[in-house]
Amino acid sequence: MATTSIAPEYAIDIKPDQIRQDLLRPIFQTSRRFYVLVFFLVAIGLPGIFLYANQMSEGMGVAGITRPIFWGIYIANFVFWIGISHAGTLISAILRLVNATWRRPVTRCAEAITVFALAIGAQYPIIHLGRSWLFFWLMPYPSERGIWPNFRSPLCWDFFAISTYLTGSTAFLLLPIIPDWAVVRDRASGFRKRIYTILALGWRGTPREWHRLEVAMRIMAVAILPVAISVHTIVSWDFAMAPVPMWHSTVFGPYFVAGAIFSGIAALIVAMGILRKALHLEEYLKPSHFSNLGKLLLVMSLLWVYFIFAERLTVWYGNQPAEMAAFWSIQRGRFAGLFWTMVSCNFLIPFPILAIKKLRTITGTMIASSTVVVGMWLERFLIVVPPLEHKYLPYEWGTYHPSVTEIGIAIGTLCGMILLYVLFAKLVPIISIWELKGGQHKKPFAEQALSAASRSGVHLDSTLPSTNS
Amino acid sequence: MKRRTFLKLSAVGGAGAALAGCGHQAEQLIRFIPDETLIPGVATWKSGVCAQCSAGCGMQVRVMQGDAEVFRDGQFGVVKMGLAKKLAGNPDHPVSRGKLCVRGEAGLQVTFNPDRIKHPLKRTGLRGAGQFTQISWDEAVQELLAHLQPLAAPQAAVSLAFLTRPLGGQRGVLVERFLSGFDGARLVPFELFDDAVLRTANRRSFGYEQLPTFDLAHCSYVISFGADFLGTWNSPVAQSVGYGTLRQNRSGIRGKFVQVEPRMSQTGANADEWVAAHPGTEGLLALGIAHVLLKEHFGHAEATGSAGMQIDGWREGLPEYSPEAIAWKTGVAPETTTRLAHEIAAQSPALAVVGGAPLAHTNGMFTALAVNALNALLDSVGKPGGLQFTPRPPLSTSGSAQDISEEGKVDSIRTLAQQILSGQRPIELLLLYEANPVFATPPGWQVREALEKVPFIASFGTFIDETSRLADLILPDHSSLESWIDAAPESGAAEAVISVAPPAMRPLHDTRALPDLLLDLARRLGGRTRQALPWKSYEEMLQAALAPLAHHPGSVSAKDSDEFWKKVQEQGGWWSTDASLVPKAKAPADSSRPMKNQEPQFAGPAAEYPFYFLPYASQPFFDGRHANLPWMQEMPEVLSTGMWGTWVEINARTAATLQIEQGDLLEVASPNGKVRAPALLSPGIAPDVIAMPAGQGHEDYGRYASGRGANPIKILAPQVEPTTGSLAWAGTRVNITKVGKGELVLLTGGPTEWGAEKVTR
Amino acid sequence: MAHRWAMVIDLDRCTGCETCMAACHAENNIATVDAKQAARGRAMHWIHVERYWEGEFPNVRARFQPVLCQQCDAAPCEPVCPTYAAYHNEDGLNAQVYNRCIGTRYCANACPYTARYFNWWNPVWDKPLQLQLNPDVSVREAGIMEKCTFCNQRIVATEIQAKAENREVQDGEVKPACVQSCPTTAMVFGDLDDPNSQVSRLARSMRATTLLSELGTNPKVIYLERESSHGND
């Protein structure tokens, strides 16, 4: 592995002790703000659970979906969250593979977004089922029903894609946490120590362990990339495989993947911005990180515009009557307001902010990212709903209005997502301690540790190769 | 907490499901011995007669075993019994020919309707307050007898009236005979969309006072003036069966069909050509066509018999009715009239049909006579591909309620109300049976006020409605599937038909069949009534009435009367194969006085009320009687696609100029009242016409109909067609005002503006 | 012996009378929703008559088209169902196995004809309306997709009867409720594999067409187009 020196704007010139102190602080100190935040998230999110329980006992009728709009914001949310999940693992994996050293403070909070967004997003296909309690019939297992799932169904592909991605990205998140948990373990006492002892999986920091971690991370980084791409492609195929006007399109695969990465980066920037303030990580998450991610967001914004233009142009040029009904309802009908809001949120607002260097500040990228997150939700909504409102037979057209249940569950899952993230930031160092520290060395830890170990022939401190306090 | 709430919720849901699964424990305790031997899961088709309208379609009832909560022998319990599951047309029946209409299919929901009256009721609260208490049949019959007995005395000063839906078949005969025991008793048949004008016109033109039967299957050209003959008028099933063949199935021949009406009906939507003549000018158009035909020597004026002679100027070739002369009144271009005449002349056999709104104007009689004259000119009467009159079956008792009209014992509800209110005729007791004039007459007729003055009202109907709500005593009838049922179809078949069927299933509730109740009352009353009704049961009466048919060539051949009767029941009736059986003609009454053109009169000055108001018979509800059936409430009226409500149909262009949008709440005001309903924009209605479906706007007609929609009849002017006294329900003008946003329940979510459907095609 | 059941609907005969709709409700235990639900587009009519306006007043015409499940040979609803609730049976019908359905509603989206209906609620029959339920047809609970079955219960009953009598099913012997009730005989049902059946003969008509044929779904509901008379319009 090539050794790279760190450019000065990313250099984190902090003593290892300070790093440890800064990054472990949330674990050992609990502020009132934390409790207040958790309380509010639970309070706002809890109705969602009641609404879902009510939906199961009463029937899907409590949702706003109807004939022929059989999918509504449940599915829009599903696609949105799966899209958000593309921030972390994908970016982290790419940055790891190209060994971009500035990635170090970013990867973990990105990977956590992936896992939680995926976990939340994966709820939606279940929430939206008419008979949620039978969701496991999607799984292939030899059942007494004597029937396998239909492997031709994109929903079945979804199941495999999402479960693979969730497993993979969870491993991708957890593997590099192990050494950090060991750090916590070594500093904790009592109940907390017992918990972190279990979580640390007996990590001792031997060179073999470091080596294996390094190899595992490299394999994971390579393996997770195609999985991530495939997941959103398959999600897009949920639509593209159905002969619904404006769904049945070959552009949907790459379009969805680009959109996913786009919204993912935006979500990551937002999360980083908030973490930076809330956990006082100003020294770690520097303007340059935001600027760099902002550039990436800029590229994705352009890509997104390109895709939506290509998609709309081909539909308009093709001029197929059934497609044109949905097309015009978006361009200048009932959904025109939402459409132009989406274009503003995804391009007109973020583009100048991100393109002009002066504006590409932390605040600037935060504003741009927030609008992109909103815009990308709208995009999902506009993909799902207007085509279903305008299928082939005009007599059968319908209109969709989301119900309280759907909105309540959407808010509930948003709160759930934030809550999971908050709890994660509370229980795990949100910036990888060892990677950050490793970044301060000329050589990667493993090499260094290995050589050190071989030289001295002694067991190292179980936490970090450079520990000598 | 989350988990517990979830468990609680699911427990509540589960318990609810469990409760729904089983009935009340008390009701499960008693189990009855099965009423009949039925094999579980095996269906039997029994014969039946559709009672949803007066067409008298023969049908089949699919009966299967099931568990029903019923009342038997003084107690409630669950019993295994045959239950009607499906209705279908009787394939052998000459009227229905294996088919039914949409309302007929829903007849099942009358029997199983949750709002049926389940036992005799006695009024407890103020009259009309709808407060009743359950009483036993003994009490109920005693109470009714107490009111009947004084009236049965000879030369009683006060009298009774029997207000009923038009009763065909032996039920009508029975009621008539029952009334013969009371001096001065009046029979008051009532139906909103009655066809009295056409019957009278047919008597004047052709000598037959009945509705015509159309031989559409052999026809090449049909021009219909406002008749919704495929939907709600006359015998729609028989006409639809013929229509199928009119269009297809004859090699090389596809009959053309032209409809003349200002608002496109379901029937009109099927026309090859739809002509929106101004309301009330249909007769002019018919004579305009006749003018061209006469001028071009198609047929002879002399050959049309009395039908032509009804029209002033017929012999002279109708000089006043040239296409040019009528054009400004009808709104139909002279070229169109001429072309239609030429088409008719070229297509033989051709047929003209008239019914519905054109006859519900003050000049309805003129219109009917004009179309009849056109038919006579086309030589379509009594010919294949033309119109015929169905012969009456030669029964031992007289035919139907229509036949007693001559005897001077029949009043219209309007006359009755007038007489009651003026004190002219003291009515001590009103018997009421399945007629709802309080709902279906204009307020100007003051039917409610009149009925409220009647000292005692006893109702035999199956449901509480606006009229039976006024009753003091309710003695509920069985449903038509639970009782002996018969009908003598007035039209729809070329041959004489009588439809008869035994009960398809046993009664669900503590009810009694009206005919048997009347026979029982007659027995107890004794005297003249008893003499008029000597039979022990209605079945016996039916058997006696049909007995002479065994000797006529017909659908049933049997060696003795028992076998005959058995076969009649199995077949669901008897129909003639006797060509010599012809309809009984009555001499044209006043053929000497030909009619001149009459302008239709509309209530309300045109300046103030710019729109013609057209209430129309609703596809699912007809005149409103089916509004209590959930299937019918959710059945979209096919053109508007409206369900569960009423709407105001307005021409889309007119609406645009008035800035009215689809769903806007409109107030429709006539000189006689106001109703509110949402606007429904349609291209299929003339710009100066406002249409509303009848049937909704019930105040009290069960859980499905009450408080739903608006009743257009309530704003009608009390206009009548002068020769018959029938309600001229198309003779009112209205204006409209936008008063807010209403809610339309439409099946289609498609574009509201016409033409936008071209998106797909 | 397998059949290829098909229906021919003659639009020249169809008058929009909706008898088929009522018959279908009675035969197949289809729930009525209520005014509020119907207003939200949740009314269930496995077969319903679509009305399309053509032209403007006074030269206006309405076109009726009964639409039901088209029982496509290449049905878009089938492959998308993850649990095989929608599948192709040996008679070529798009069967719907209610017990397998978990309510993804994907099939309904995929159906270009919007011929599938979802049970948004548990069906309600006010007592004693439940007594009218046809015991041959299962009642569907909330969360399940349903649609026209070509009255499969009637097909099966006729096939069993024929087998018991050791004979073939006769042409015209099977009649779904809508076909049985249609007053103008606009609807004809039969076996497309039998070249002499009435449906086969009608399907060869010059007027024969299928709905949205450009989608390649190969429907087994064949429409005969409406004619106009004598070249006058």
CA dist list (Å): A213 to A175, A207, A218, A445 = 7, 10, 9, 11
Yes or no, beta carbons of A49 and B2 under 8 Å apart: yes
**pLDDT (tens digit per residue) in A181-217:** 998 898 888 888 899 999 989 898 889 999 999 899 8
Domain of B456, CATH number, reads 3.40.50.740
Among A39-48, B15-24, B54-63, C131-140, which is the least confidently predicted range?
Answer: B15-24
> pLDDT value at position C68?
96
Give which of A328, A302, A338, A156 is closest to A246, Cα–Cα: A328
Residue A467 in this model has a pLDDT that exceeds 60: no
pTM for this entry: 0.91
B566 and B711, same structural domain?
no
pLDDT averaged over every residue in chain A: 87
State how far the Cα of C184 lies from the Cα of B217, in Å rounded to an integer.
11
Tens place of pLDDT per residue across chain C (233 aa): 689 999 999 999 999 999 999 999 999 999 999 999 999 999 999 999 999 988 888 899 899 999 999 999 999 999 999 999 999 998 889 999 999 999 999 999 999 999 999 999 999 999 899 999 999 999 999 999 999 999 999 999 999 999 999 999 999 999 999 999 999 999 999 999 999 999 999 999 999 999 999 999 999 999 999 987 544 44
Q: Mutate one of C34, C36, C40 to test the A interface: name it (highest A CB count within 10 A).
A: C40
Cβ neighbours, 10 Å, residue C169: 18
B150 and B87, same structural domain?
no
Q: Mutate one of B70, B741, B754 to test the C interface: name it (highest C CB count within 10 A).
A: B754
Write out chain A residues lying below 8 Å of B642, CB-based. none
Yes or no, beta carbons of A392 and C51 under 8 Å apart: no
**pLDDT (tens digit per residue) in B416-434:** 999 999 988 888 999 999 9
Closest residue in A to C118 (Cα) is A67
Amino acid at the residue B178 = F
Yes or no, beta carbons of C121 and A134 under 8 Å apart: no
Q: Domain A25-137+149-175+224-438 adopts which CATH fold?
A: Formate dehydrogenase/DMSO reductase fold (1.20.1630)
Q: Which tops the pLDDT comparison, B592 or A321?
A: A321
Residue A423 in this model has a pLDDT that exceeds 60: yes
> pLDDT value at position B24?
47
Residue B278 in this model has a pLDDT that exceeds 60: yes
State how far the Cα of B179 lies from the Cα of B525, in Å rounded to an integer.
12
Query: What are the residue boundaries of the structural domains of chain A, listed by start?
Result: 25-137+149-175+224-438
B13 touching chain A per CB within 8 A: yes
Query: What are the residue boundaries of the structural domains of chain C, listed by start?
Result: 5-224
B41 touching chain C per CB within 8 A: yes
- Window 205-224 of C, Cβ < 8 Å to B: 224
> pLDDT value at position A447?
52
Residue B737 in this model has a pLDDT that exceeds 60: yes
Domain's final residue, options B528, B550, B576: B576
> pLDDT value at position C229?
59
Query: How does strand B121-123 pair with strand B256-260?
Result: unpaired
Assess contact for C150 and C93: CB atoms under 8 A: yes
B251 and B321, same structural domain?
yes
DSSP for B689-749 reads: EEEEESS--BSSSHHHHBTBS--GGGG----B-TTT--B-TT-EEEEEEEEEE----BS--
> pLDDT value at position A341?
96
3-state helix/strand/coil string of chain A: CCCCCCCCCCCCCCCHHHHHHHHHHHHHCCCHHHHHHHHHHHHHHHHHHHHHHHHHHHCHHHCCCCCCCCCCHHHHHHHHHHHHCCCHHHHHHHHHHCCCHHHCCCHHHHHHHHHHHHHHHHHHHHHCCCCHHHHHHHCCCCCCCCCCCCCCCHHHHHHHHHHHHHHHHHHHHHCCHHHHHHHHHHHCCHHHHHHHHHHCCCCCCCHHHHHHHHHHHHHHHHHHHHHHHHHHHHHHHHHHCCCCCCCCCCCHHHHHHHHHHHHHHHHHHHHHHHHHHHCCCCCCCCHHHHHHHHHHHHHHHHHHHHHHHHHHHHHHHHCCHHHHHHHHHHHCCCCHHHHHHHHHHHHHCHHHHHHCHHHCCHHHHHHHHHHHHHHHHHHHHHHHHHHHHCCCCHHHCCCCCCCHHHHHHHHHHHHHHHHHHHHHHHHCCCCCHHHHHHHCCCCCHHHHHHHHHHHHCCCCCCCCCCCCC
HSE at residue A42, side-chain half, CA atoms within 13 A, is 9
A140 touching chain C per CB within 8 A: no
**pLDDT (tens digit per residue) in B680-694:** 999 999 999 999 999
What average pLDDT does range B346-357 have in this prediction? 93
B315 and B205, same structural domain?
yes
Chain-centre distance of CA B219, in angstroms? Answer: 26
B20 touching chain A per CB within 8 A: no
C26 touching chain B per CB within 8 A: yes
**pLDDT (tens digit per residue) in B617-651:** 999 999 999 999 999 999 999 999 999 999 999 99
Find the helix or strand (DSSP H, E) in which B132 lies.
Answer: strand B132-134
**pLDDT (tens digit per residue) in B672-730:** 999 999 999 999 999 999 999 999 999 999 999 999 999 999 999 999 999 899 999 99
What average pLDDT does range A144-167 have in this prediction? 91
Cross-chain CB nearest to C19 (options B64, B105, B244): B105
CA dist list (Å): A73 to A371, A383, B142, C72, C168 = 19, 10, 66, 30, 51
B754 touching chain A per CB within 8 A: no
CATH for C5-224 is 3.30.70.20
Shortest CA gap B367–chain A (Å): 38
**pLDDT (tens digit per residue) in A66-107:** 999 999 999 999 999 999 998 788 888 888 888 888 888 888
> pLDDT value at position A14?
72
ipTM over 0.90: yes
**pLDDT (tens digit per residue) in A270-285:** 999 999 998 888 888 8
Read off the pLDDT band of B752 (50, 70, 90).
low
Overall domain count for chain B: 4
Give which of C43, C82, B745 is closest to A61, Cα–Cα: C43
Yes or no, beta carbons of C134 and B653 under 8 Å apart: no
B228 and B161, same structural domain?
no
Closest residue in A to C98 (Cα) is A131
Write out chain C residues lying below 8 Å of A234, CB-based. none
Q: Which domain holds residue B688?
A: 611-751
> pLDDT value at position A13?
67
Among A315-319, A364-368, B555-559, C109-113, which is the least confidently predicted range?
Answer: B555-559
B640 and B541, same structural domain?
no
**pLDDT (tens digit per residue) in B167-202:** 888 999 999 999 988 888 889 999 999 899 999 999
**pLDDT (tens digit per residue) in B220-259:** 999 999 999 999 999 999 999 999 999 998 888 899 999 9
Write out chain C residues lying below 8 Å of B635, CB-based. 18, 21-22
Yes or no, beta carbons of C83 and A152 under 8 Å apart: no
Chain-centre distance of CA C66, in angstroms? Answer: 9
> pLDDT value at position B13?
45
Closest residue in B to C29 (Cα) is B85
State how far the Cα of A16 lies from the Cα of A467, in Å rounded to an integer.
8
Cross-chain CB nearest to A46 (options B2, B749, B750): B2
B219 and B354, same structural domain?
yes
Which pair of structure tokens corresponds to residue C21?
């709709």
Residue A348 in this model has a pLDDT that exceeds 90: yes
B231 and B377, same structural domain?
yes
CB pairs under 8 A between A and C: 141
Read off the pLDDT band of A453 (50, 70, 90).
very low
B724 and B639, same structural domain?
yes
Shortest CA gap C67–chain B (Å): 13
> pLDDT value at position B14?
46
B352 and B215, same structural domain?
yes
Residue B361 in this model has a pLDDT that exceeds 60: yes
> pLDDT value at position C47?
96
> pLDDT value at position A262?
94
Read off the pLDDT band of A440 (50, 70, 90).
low
pLDDT averaged over every residue in chain B: 88
Residue owning tokens 């049937």:
B695
B672 and B535, same structural domain?
no
Q: Which tops the pLDDT comparison, A439 or A395?
A: A395
B443 and B334, same structural domain?
no
